[in-house]
């Protein structure tokens, strides 16, 4: 591992921490073709940024993202910002020839996403969109079983991504609830993950019918210095309008004939970060629950009838995707490991001059589905893609 890859990270809250951890851990657990150097972290508030850099081992700080993007010593721009800032940063970084690791959702619209994808392709830079759940070992195993024909023809996809962090009506109006910054609510934040998984595991979507709901119309304005980690404090008594949906339901048809449903909400009281999916096919079925992320439930019609039934595969054996890099067989891993897997695959793609998925093309395709969902909810009509 002689080649150094200098990283410039923009953003230092929840995702900034998750990404920093991944850059640090990857060389300890993976035999990488290059060595990531935590060079510069960028953010607006110098003092908080300095403390973050010290804690996570970033060599230097920068408060102007344009200077970071123009810095010739930087090889990779890692974007851990809210989505309204992605487009401008990606276009500038790609034009400087930087490889890009970007948090989801990719952009504010599929039009922006398409431009980001095209500019990256034209400049020949590696572009990765961090739908990290593809790199949960149990989900990568589901993909392998599907590819190996164990499920047969897929009939049904059923997915629910449920959280409850804004169920309190006095939870403040953080950026995630502001359309100008977030574009949409759980349809963008949560269904982007779910649609990415559906594309990965089932296939392309050709039509959408949707419904959205807004349960709390106004909330106290947020004290921005207190936001982060899906938390926040009110600035005072002043209220502001919630401009995104609180929940979204979609029903879809896939190109391959399967049908599917998506449920995304921040109002599922008691559900913290629950992502579940079920896939039913002609030869077998798979179900997954992120709250038990090391497990995959598998039903096979190939087995003798007398012993058929859903069985739990613990995806922690050395034969399972990614797991041989961690602990001895049977030892579970967690949320943060998926970011390490992403960073390791991304570095491999850069050094081999290859590509990685999901990338900005995948992000564009996902945003087209999410936009179709919002349009359908508005017009109460089915939208064809």
Interface contacts to ligand SOE, rule CB under 6 A:
163, 189-190, 193, 230, 273
**What's the rounded Cα separation, in Å, for the pair 262 and 284?**
21
- C-beta closer to ligand SOE: residue 71 or 246: 246
- C-beta closer to ligand SOE: residue 60 or 273: 273
Residue 87 CB, nearest approach to ligand SOE (Å): 18
If 0-12 CB within 10 Å is exposed, 13-18 middle and 19+ buried, where does residue 5 land? buried
Q: 52: which 2 tokens?
A: 């973050």
* Neighbour-count burial for 63-91, b at 16+ CB within 10 Å, e otherwise: eebeebbebeebbbbbbbbbbbbbbebbb
Cβ-closest position to ligand SOE: 189
The distance from CA 253 to its chain's CA centroid, rounded to whole angstroms, is 23
Residue 193 CB, nearest approach to ligand SOE (Å): 6
- C-beta closer to ligand SOE: residue 165 or 280: 165
- C-beta closer to ligand SOE: residue 203 or 228: 228
**What's the rounded Cα separation, in Å, for the pair 127 and 105?**
14
Residue 305 CB, nearest approach to ligand SOE (Å): 40
Residue 229 CB, nearest approach to ligand SOE (Å): 9
- C-beta closer to ligand SOE: residue 230 or 259: 230
Residue 131 CB, nearest approach to ligand SOE (Å): 8
Q: Torsions phi, psi of 200, nearest 5? A: -65, -45
Per DSSP, the three-state class of 237 is strand
- C-beta closer to ligand SOE: residue 145 or 190: 190
Residue 334 CB, nearest approach to ligand SOE (Å): 12
Give, for 111, the enclosing helix (H) or strand (E): helix 110-123
178 touches 297 (CB < 8 A): no
Residue 53 CB, nearest approach to ligand SOE (Å): 22
Residue 14 CB, nearest approach to ligand SOE (Å): 6
- C-beta closer to ligand SOE: residue 23 or 254: 23
DSSP annotation of 282: S
254 touches 217 (CB < 8 A): no
- C-beta closer to ligand SOE: residue 342 or 347: 342
- C-beta closer to ligand SOE: residue 113 or 350: 113
Residue 174 CB, nearest approach to ligand SOE (Å): 11
């Amino acid at each position: 591992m002689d080649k150094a890859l200098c990283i410039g990270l923009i953003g230092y809250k929840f995702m900034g921490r998750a990404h920093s951890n991944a850059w640090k851990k990857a060389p300890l657990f993976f035999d990488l073709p290059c060595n990531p150097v935590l060079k510069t972290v960028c953010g607006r508030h110098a003092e908080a940024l300095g403390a973050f850099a010290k804690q996570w081992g970033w060599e230097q700080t920068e408060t102007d993202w344009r200077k970071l993007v123009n810095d010739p010593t930087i090889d990779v721009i890692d974007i851990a910002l809210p989505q309204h800032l992605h487009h401008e940063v990606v276009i500038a970084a790609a034009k400087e020839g930087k490889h890009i690791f970007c948090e989801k959702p990719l952009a504010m619209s599929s039009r922006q996403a398409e431009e980001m994808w095209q500019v990256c392709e034209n400049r020949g830079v590696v572009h990765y969109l961090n739908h990290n759940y593809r790199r949960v070992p149990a989900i990568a195993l589901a993909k392998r079983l599907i590819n190996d024909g164990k499920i047969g023809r897929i009939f049904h996809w059923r997915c629910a991504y449920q959280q409850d962090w804004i169920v309190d009506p006095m939870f403040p109006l953080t950026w995630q609830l502001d359309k100008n910054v977030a574009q949409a609510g759980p349809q963008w934040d949560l269904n982007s993950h779910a649609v990415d998984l559906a594309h990965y595991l089932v296939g392309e979507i050709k039509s959408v019918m949707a419904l959205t709901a807004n349960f709390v119309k106004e909330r106290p304005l947020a004290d921005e210095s207190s936001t982060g980690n899906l938390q926040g404090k009110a600035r005072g008594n002043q209220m502001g309008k919630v401009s995104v949906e609180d929940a979204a339901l979609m029903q879809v048809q896939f190109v391959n004939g399967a049908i599917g449903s998506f449920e995304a909400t921040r109002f599922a009281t008691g559900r913290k970060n629950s992502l579940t999916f079920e896939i039913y096919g002609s030869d077998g079925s798979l179900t997954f629950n992120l709250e038990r992320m090391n497990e995959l439930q598998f039903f096979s019609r190939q087995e003798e009838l007398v012993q058929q039934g859903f069985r739990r595969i613990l995806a922690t054996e050395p034969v399972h995707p990614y797991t041989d890099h961690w602990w001895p067989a049977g030892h579970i891993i967690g949320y943060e490991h998926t970011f390490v897997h992403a960073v390791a695959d991304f570095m491999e793609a850069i050094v081999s001059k290859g590509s990685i998925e999901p990338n900005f093309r995948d992000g564009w395709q996902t945003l087209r589905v999410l936009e179709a969902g919002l349009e359908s909810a508005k017009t109460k009509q089915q939208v064809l893609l």
